[in-house]
Every structure is written in structure tokens, then in C-alpha cells.
Amino acid sequence: MSLTMLRNKPAPQWAVSLRQRLCFCLLLPVLAGCVAPGEGNFRRPPTPAEVEQYNAMVQPEDRIVCRSEVPVSSNIPVRKCRLVVDIDETSVFHREQLRRALR
């Protein structure tokens, strides 16, 4: 009986206010994510055409490759740009580590 009464009883003002604040706090990061950051603190990765133009102007050792990569512990692909020399070095390193582990 008392349970039914409690259910039908309107929530006190302080509880409504607390719930609103809680919702606001939870939504705040979501809303912040939707806001486009200013130029000062945001650098977009170069577009494929920009990468190609840059690569055409520099020596092979300075050329870069931009790709969408899915990082570990996430399913959201991230566009990352790397020097080709670095990609090759990382590839060699990983191959070497794998070989050592299998030995």
C-alpha cells in the first residue's frame, strides 16, 4: 500500500532539480563533442589530394601516407598520417618481434 502511494507521490522539488543536473552533466560531454572546435586547438588531417600534392613537391624520404586506422580497443577508424620511412621501420620492427616470439 505504502509502496503504491510512494509511486504515485510526485517527486520533491530537490529531487527533480538533482535529476535535471545529473542529465545535464551526462549530456554535457556529448554536446561538447558536437561543437566544432576553433582553428586554434584543432588541426584536421590533410585530405588525400593535399597529401598527394605535398608528396609531389618533396623528396621520397619526406613523403607521407595517410590512412584510416582502427586503433586497439576501439572500432572507430582514425585517419593517421605517417612518414613512409616510419611505416617501413615499424613494419620491420614488428616482423622482427614476431619472429623472436615464435623462436
For other proteins, the binding residues (CB under 8 A) are 47-49, 52-53, 55-57, 60, 63-65, 67, 84, 87-88, 91
In angstroms, what is the minimal distance from the CB of 72 to other proteins? 19
CA-to-CA distance for 19 and 13, rounded, in angstroms?
Answer: 10
Cell of 12: 520533491
Q: How far is the CB of 90 from other proteins (least distance, A)?
A: 9
Least distance between other proteins and beta carbon 44 (Å): 13
Nearer to other proteins, 52 or 96 (CB): 52
**8 A C-beta contact, residue 68 and residue 78:** yes
Helical (H) or strand (E) element with 66: strand 64-69
